[in-house]
Amino acid sequence: MQDSLTLQVHDLEVMVLTGIYSEETHLPQPLRISLDVELDCPARFTPDTPLDASKSYMDLRHAATDGLPQGVHFTLIEGVADYIAETLFLQDPRIRRVQIRIVKLAIAEGLESIGVTLIRHRR
């Protein structure tokens, strides 16, 4: 069995142009995005292990926030998730698997979580 490391960045609130209904297509709407990114890791992490043995959480955050193209309308939130996954795979060849959960905040009532989870493996 091969060791792996999963980095997590959860509950980012991002405004994204997405949706299929006329009221959704002209204004960005709030999405809650969570990432679990699995990558290869060294045999040990010692107290002096450098950052390049892992990955900066800020790279993950950037892929789900500022890394999304401005002014591009995603018909489906699945497309948003796929764009983030591809960005992450391009960032680092050590990434083996990504899991991206997106919740559409504008349509939820009460404590509902309405959205998708996309899991992609490096091909």
Q: Provide the residue-wise pLDDT of the chain in tens; the chain has 123 residues.
A: 788 899 999 999 999 999 887 676 778 999 999 999 999 988 899 999 998 888 999 999 999 999 999 999 999 999 999 999 999 999 999 999 999 999 999 888 888 899 999 999 999
Q: Which pLDDT score, from 0 to 100, does residue 20 have?
A: 85
The per-residue pLDDT for 100 is: 98
Q: How many CA atoms lie within 13 A of 11 on its CB side?
A: 1
pLDDT of residue 42: 84
Class of domain 5-121: alpha beta
Nearest partner of 18 among 117, 121, 118, 115, judged by Cα: 115
The whole-number pLDDT of residue 47 equals 94
Asked if residues 101 and 115 have their Cβ atoms less than 8 Å apart, the reply is yes
Tell me if 57 sits within 8 A of 63, measured CB to CB: no
Taking the model in full, what pTM does it have?
0.92
Contact present, 119 and 88 (Cβ < 8 Å): no
C-alpha distance across the termini of the chain, in Å: 19
Give pLDDT, residue 14.
97
Q: What is the pLDDT of residue 103?
A: 96
